[in-house]
Structure 1
Amino acid sequence: MTQSNGSAATPSSMPDWEKRFRAPRVGLPDWAEDAPDRSLFVSNATGTFELYAWDRATGAQRQATDRPNGTTDGVLSPDGEWIWWFSDTDGDEFGVWMRQPFFGWEDGRREDEPATPGLAPSYSGGLALGRDGTAVVGRSTDEDGSSIHVVRPGAEPVEIYRHRESAGVGDLSHDGTLIAIEHTEHGDAMHSAIRVTRLDGTVVSELDDTKSGTEELGLTVMGFAPRAGDSRMLVGHQRRGRWEPMIWDAVTGEETALSIDLPGDISAEWYPEPQGGATEGGGGALLISHSFQARSELWRYELSTGELIRVEIPSGTVSGATARPDGTVEFLWSSAAQPPVVRSTSGRVVLDPPALPDGLSKAPESVPVTDAWVEGPGGKVHALVQRPAGEGPFPTVFDIHGGPTWHDSDAFASGPAAWVDHGFAVIRVNYRGSTGYGREWTDALKHRVGLIELEDIAAVREWAVDSGLADPERLVLAGGSWGGYLTLLGLGTQPDAWAVGLAAVPVADYVTAYHDEMEALKSMDRTLLGGSPEEVPERYAASSPLTYADAVRAPVYISAGVNDPRCPIRQVENYVRRLERRGHPHEVYRYDAGHGSLVVEERIKQLRLEIEFAQRHLSLSRPAPQDRPARSLPAQDRPAQDPGPAPAPRG
């Protein structure tokens, strides 16, 4: 494998913060259910994140996709014969499924073909592949809403579901007879219900917790049992104030509660059939992933006895885990200090990233995080803190996560590590709306959208200053996507608190964003704010950064993708024009891409521009003049795209 990121730097001349981005990485390998030696994984080995095929039996690997903007959304067919991957245009997330043979490397050529030629381009609403070649494809468009189609080999696609509200494919049963659909027909995009149908669309059963007394609770599909004829399904529910699994028989309706006494959110997957054929072991145990206070644990749960057995892993965060047919567990692990690695409970490293030609093989370590618990207006707020060498108070970056239904964790992140290398403390706040702290904490984010999160961030800011960690004159508010939105909103509603603002792919004008964004996000915004801009205009005005643009005092740096369907460019331009009319100091970096980038050099470039902007306006150093961002870049200088996997709604 060769590097094609265009960098002339060598490891000896490269700063550590750039090495962390350029060092080769691999994601957790996905494997074909009926051919477990055939795997698919993501790597940045060429300088762009792409899909790679891996034959574990021979050790052979090949790059399966090669696009300027990168590719991460891929699925193996159960027999391992086909790689399916989603092809969009310049990061707009609007495209079609393609496929290619798994063993397509004999002559060095890829043989991509349309996987569902009868379906027009759309946003992806999930995909499930059957053992007989049947595909269940979820789609959405702004005009038609959500739909689900069954595509059989050699036949035209058949639509079995359509609704204006958001919906998607949950799973397909092992024998290919049952389809699980997650939907929000009730209008609450934060809490899904589940419908199970046959392949002709006939409804088999419904499971709906959205009107559970006075509460609105959500459900999520975690997967059908790994046996033919088994109609049991793992379902995530919120009935006890957190996410946890239960077993639901989609045919009989029988529900089986699971006694898992762990304090945080819990997800689960089935252990597969053991190697050597079907036995009573298949579907008889669950792999439990437990998230609590920004760290992860893994457990094995025996369904016959209820016994919970710890799977030993280091302290940190598991970004993904899967049980293999031989009973081992593979997991992608990292901590704030240690770069990610794919490990196995067998004690070995599953998949080493390839060393690049320049010799760079591993990302440099960073500093560990410490925990801060701060009393906020809605309860204790958890923040993760990284400190540079020396004594405070430090210039400090509040790096605000996206989502908003997501959370920061004790995981390796090249961005925060780069700020620490430049002498900044970094604080990441799991504000109300974040996952991992119970349903009430996540669902608190309604109606006063943005303002609630900023109250929690303000409480942590006050603690950071009072404790002597943060210099109150050198506070940077930064974030991407929802974090970018909170950055712009915070600069306007808390103008005296921040010295610099850095907003990547933000919501800047909430009303225009609503009208231009993908339909699924409109549903989410109606849920969060209680209606459309026409129905509750005062709420959109109160939550829109544009409302407060004239109050902003800090210099503002904004980066935005011109093809972004989540935080569209027109609403960003509206905000920028408001700053321009005031003559307010700001810089804008527009690039011909979508909601972020999978291109390593582009990620480095964007972070370098942010660091230099902050240093310049905090009078910390003089940036190189040739690297200063232009307000409008020529097309050939704009970075490549990437939507990448992102948590709902915006990432």
Structure 2
Amino acid sequence: MDGMTEPTGLPESSLSTASSASASASASASASASASGSASGSAASWAGLPDWEKRFRAPRVSLPDWAEDAPARALFVSNATGTYELYAWDRDTGGQRQVTDRPNGTTDGVLSPDGEWIWWFADTDGDEFGVWMRQPFAGGPDEPAVAGLAASYPAGLALGRDGTAVVGRSTEEEGTTVHVVRPGGLPVEIYRHRESAGVGDLSRDGTLVALEHTEHGDAMHAALRVVRLDGSLVAELDDTKGGTKDLGLTVMGFAPVEGDGRLLIGHQRRGRWEPMIWDVASGRETELGLDLPGDVGAEWFPDGSGLLIAHDFEARTELWRYDIASGRLTRLDTPAGSVSGATARPDGSVEYLWSSAAEPPVVRSSTGAVVLDPPGPKAPPSVAVEDVWVDGPGGRVHALVQRPEGAAGPLPTVFDLHGGPAWHYSDTFAAGPAAWLDHGYAVVRVNYRGSTGYGREWTDALRHRVGLIELEDVTAVREWAVSSGLADPERLVLTGGSWGGYLTLLGLGTQPDVWAVGIADVPVADYVTAYRDQMEALRPLDRTLFGGSPEEVPERFRASSPITYVDEVRAPVYIAAGLNDPRCPIRQVENYVERLAARGAVHEVYRYDAGHGSLVVEERIKQVRQELEFAARHLPSATGTRPEGG
């Protein structure tokens, strides 16, 4: 289940590509200059708010995506109205307008190459099951973007210059299907498989489609296939063949040059993600051999002469330009911190969304300019992170540590576990952890085994002992935090969202004497029921992690399921769950809660009408407020006295 983060509308990858985008990581993000202020409110009301609320309410924008053939036309996401929605931006005139307006928000959108159309994905109340709609860039009524395709979960989208669309879909009945839709025509299916797959990109001339697939049964490591628009095979690349394993590939984009069939892809042949150029016609593979220690992502510069390189290493990001002709790598000047998205513009400049744990996000340019500055008050700064490395059973574990300014330990300490599991915490601005800091807590965020950014072996280490491996790393960091004098061992809070929520409930049951309070957002609580109820595309990942289905390896699912240990839980538990969540469905949460209630365990459950997290600012603030209040009620005092009922 993908990591649940604060809803910024931003893709989790480091680079944003305008030519194609999957539905789960497409154009997104920001605020309209004309939209003033449900998020920010009046100046008077803003002045009376605590800083932690201001950080959520402050208008935010994503990195603008732009149309390949009309680069002055851009699309972004913003919370300016109090809900994250899509916005159109004409960079020539400066005009901005809100494109979508839905109760639960919208973040998945794509611009057509000519900039004439905005495609956006319409689900129902956050359930991620729906259809693509489209709207003219200049404004006008929404209309179905594709006739003849029933609702589904999205599995990628690529738009061509002649109006052709390549649409990926996922359903329980059909598995993954890919359809070509020509202007005025009906969808033609060109791919179908039960295992997970998705649309990667469409070549500039509109003749080749790059697909990622896991037909070999390993959902963690995709293979690539390039086909023509009729589905006929052009080329295949599969790094899991020939005696190798655990080597994945990913599509980064076709060359932006007419008639150029080169495909930029990511590979893991040297133990980390790095780019390679694959000529699909000749089969020639050109590895770049970049001398950078961390994971490397890339996208083409618009003229095809170079690559924009994003280097993620030890929770920070660097940007580089790679010149293809000379092989020269040139560092771009970016501040210390993390880049959540970057794109190269036709004039050769680079725009990127930057933040650090202490400083709020801003869209910058390599020219030194601020590209897109949302209106209204700015978010208050927070506290910088410290890097801590702790020896764990699987190697050194990296943790990002924050403590309230001027505070001396031992402190009540929140161990915040990220979602994913294939994701990682970085030195980025986050309103959630900052809220805990404002209330006197230290915050420790652990990049446990399974996290990205520390090499392939670290990411792939979860198999068969799912959840238990991650908690071993959390234990190592917790022991450091206590022995170093940072954390009060009687006042430890375990929390997280999505996979982090799953680890929270699993940790409360397998380590009942360690944690004083547990707070789980949209968690997996009963893994077998979650497997049966979740969206189709996630089941292959679970089979890969566990080595089979619940029927094939029941003992592994039992050992890794929080409900197995629910009777051991001693700490008060707070759970927030979306009623329409397709990733961590509500029924399995209810099963766990019923078991807690049957034994009279201290718990609270908050159910809300959304999916895997909320895109509504007020809803998110409400949830954080409830979590803070729950912890305050149930944590022991500094002297070790637990409140009544705790």
Give the TM-score range, shorter chain.
Answer: over 0.9
Name the % identity.
77
What is the CA distance between 1:121 and its match in structure 2? 0.3
Look up the match of 2:620: 603
Task: State the partner residue of 2:269.
Answer: 239
Describe the superposition over 1:30-64 as per-residue Cα deviations: whole angstroms up to 9, x where unpaired.
Answer: 00000000000111000000000000000000001
Query: Are 2:198 and 1:168 equivalent residues in the alignment?
Result: yes
| Contact map agreement 1:266 1:288 (CA 8 A) in 2 | yes
Residue identity opposite 1:491 in structure 2: L
Aligned mates of 2:289, 2:347 — CA distance in 1: 26
Secondary structure in structure 1 of the residue aligned to 2:371? coil
Aligned partner of 1:473 in structure 2 is 490
Q: CA deviation at 1:7?
A: 6.6
Counterpart for residue 107 of structure 1: none
Instruction: State how far apart, in whole Å, the 2-side matches of 1:252 and 1:172 are.
Output: 18
Is 1:229 matched up with 2:259? yes
Superposed displacement of residue 284, structure 1: 1.4
Q: Aligned to 2:539, which of 510, 517, 522?
A: 522
Choose from 415, 435, 446 the match for 2:432: 415
Query: What is aligned with 1:572?
Result: 589
Partner in structure 2 of residue 278 of structure 1:
none
One-letter amino acid of the counterpart of residue 383, structure 1: A
Which of 95, 102, 107 is the matching residue for 2:137?
102
Worse-superposed segment, 478-487 or 610-619: 610-619
| 1:86 alignment partner in structure 2 | 121
Superposition deviation, residue 524 in structure 1? 0.4
| Matching residue within 325, 330, 333 for 2:346 | 325
Counterpart secondary structure, 2:47: coil
Task: Indicate conservation of the 8 Å contact 1:138/1:146, yes or no.
Answer: yes
Counterparts of 1:530-609 in structure 2 under 5 Å?
530-609=547-626
- Letter of the structure 2 residue corresponding to residue 128 of structure 1: A
- Structure 1 residue 203 and structure 2 residue 237: aligned? no
Aligned position for 2:372 = 351
1:311 to 328, 332, 344: 332
2:392 alignment partner in structure 1: 376
Match of 1:191 in 2: 221
Give SS of 2:322's match: strand
Secondary structure of residue in 2 paired with 1:200: coil
Instruction: Give runs of aligned pairs for residues 251-400 of structure 1, distance below 5 A.
Output: 251-272=281-302, 282-355=303-376, 361-389=377-405, 390-400=407-417
Letter in 2 for 1:586: H
- The equivalent of 1:3 in structure 2 is 37
C-alpha distance in structure 2 between counterparts of 1:445 and 1:310, whole Å: 34
Task: Describe the superposition over 1:151-200 as per-residue Cα deviations: whole angstroms up to 9, x where unpaired.
Answer: 11111100000000001000000000000000000110000000000000
Task: Work out which of the residue numbers 133, 137, 141 in structure 2 matches 1:111.
Answer: 141
From 247, 250, 266, give the equivalent of 1:217.
247
Alpha-carbon spacing, 1:323–1:254, altered in 2? closer, same or farther (3 Å):
same
- 1:491 is matched with 508
Using the alignment, how far apart are the partners of 2:53 and 2:297 within structure 1? 34
Aligned pair partner of 1:13 in 32, 42, 48: 48
In 2: Cα distance, 1:312 partner to 1:613 partner = 44
Q: Deviations over 1:547-605 (max 9, x none)?
A: 00000010000000111000000000000011011100000001111000010000100
1:147 alignment partner in structure 2: 177
Provide the rounded CA distance (Å) in 2 between the counterparts of 1:369 and 1:6: 27
CA deviations 1:125-168 (Å, max 9, x no partner) are 01000000000000000111000000111111000000000010
What displacement does 1:371 show?
0.4
Q: Is the 8 A contact 2:39 2:58 kept in 1?
A: no
Quick one: which amino acid aligns to residue 584 of structure 1?
A: A
Matched position secondary structure for 1:350 = strand
Match of 1:441 in 2: 458
Which of 70, 93, 111 pairs up with 1:58? 93
Question: Would you say the 8 A contact 2:85–2:99 is kept in 1?
Answer: yes
* Cα distance, 1:368 vs structure 2: 0.1
Aligned to 1:128: 158
Give yes or no for contact 1:340–1:412 (8 Å, CA) kept in 2.
yes
- Given that residues 317 and 410 in structure 1 are in contact (C-alpha distance below 8 angstroms), is that contact kept between their aligned partners in structure 2? yes
Cα distance in structure 1, aligned partners of 2:45 and 2:242: 59
The one-letter amino acid of 1:74's match is G
Equivalent AA in structure 1 for residue 104 of structure 2: N
**Alpha-carbon deviation of 1:119?**
0.5
**1:240–1:121 Cα change, 3 Å:** same
Q: CA deviation at 1:4?
A: 3.5
Give the corresponding residue for 1:181: 211
Counterpart-to-counterpart distance in 2, 1:523 and 1:93: 18
**Closer, same or farther: CA 542–11 of 1 in aligned 2, 3 Å:** same
CA contact (8 A) 2:53 2:621 kept: yes
Matching residue of 1:77? 112
Is the CA contact (8 Å cut-off) linking 1:211 and 1:217 kept in structure 2? no
- The alpha carbon displacement at 1:213 in A equals 2.4
Is contact 2:40-2:80 (8 Å) kept?
Answer: no
Which residue does 1:641 correspond to in 2? none
- On the 8 A contact 2:547/2:553 being kept in 1, the answer is yes
Amino acid at match of 1:93: E
Paired position in structure 1 for 2:11: none
Query: How far 1:212 sits from its partner (Å)?
Result: 4.7
> What is the CA–CA distance in structure 1 between the aligned matches of 2:46 and 2:36, rounded to whole Å?
16
Partner Cα distance (1:212, 1:191) in 2: 15
For residues 3 and 144 of structure 1, what CA distance do their matches in structure 2 show? 44
Find the residue that maps to 1:20 and give its secondary structure: helix
Q: Distance in 1 between matches of 2:136 and 2:637?
A: 54
The answer on whether the counterparts of 2:490 and 2:636 sit within 8 Å (CA) in structure 1 is no
Distance in 2 separating the partners of 1:136 and 1:212: 31
What is the number of equivalent residue pairs in this alignment? 602
SS in 2 for 1:434: coil
Matched-pair contact (CA < 8 Å) for 1:25–1:45: yes
1:502 maps onto 2:523 in alignment? no
Determine the C-alpha separation between the residues in 2 that align with 1:121 and 1:198: 25
Q: Find the counterpart in structure 1 of residue 32 from structure 2.
A: none
Q: Single out whichever of 251-260 and 318-327 deviates more from structure 2.
A: 251-260
RMSD of Structure 2 on Structure 1 (CA): 1.1
- Structure 2 counterpart of 1:368, one-letter code: A
Query: What is the DSSP-based 3-state SS (H/G/I as helix, E as strand, rest coil) of the residue aligned with 1:441?
Result: helix
TM-score by structure 2 length?
0.92
| Pairwise CA distance, 1:520 | 1.1
Verify the 8 A CA contact 2:39 2:59 in the aligned structure 1.
Answer: no
Alignment check: 8 A CA contact 1:550 1:579 kept: yes
Listed as ranges, the gaps of 5+ residues in structure 2 are: 1-34, 639-646
User: Which residue is 2:24 aligned to?
Assistant: none
Q: In the superposition, relative to structure 1, how do residues 3 and 212 fare at CA in structure 2: closer, same or farther (>3 Å)? A: farther
Runs of 4+ more than 3 Å apart: 4-9
Counterparts of 1:249 and 1:308, CA distance in 2: 22
Match in the other structure for 1:455 = 472
Question: How big is each residue's C-alpha offset from its partner over 1:376-414, in whole Å with a ceiling of 9 and x where there is no partner?
Answer: 000000000000132111000001000000000000000
User: 2-side partners of 1:412 and 1:245: how far apart?
Assistant: 27
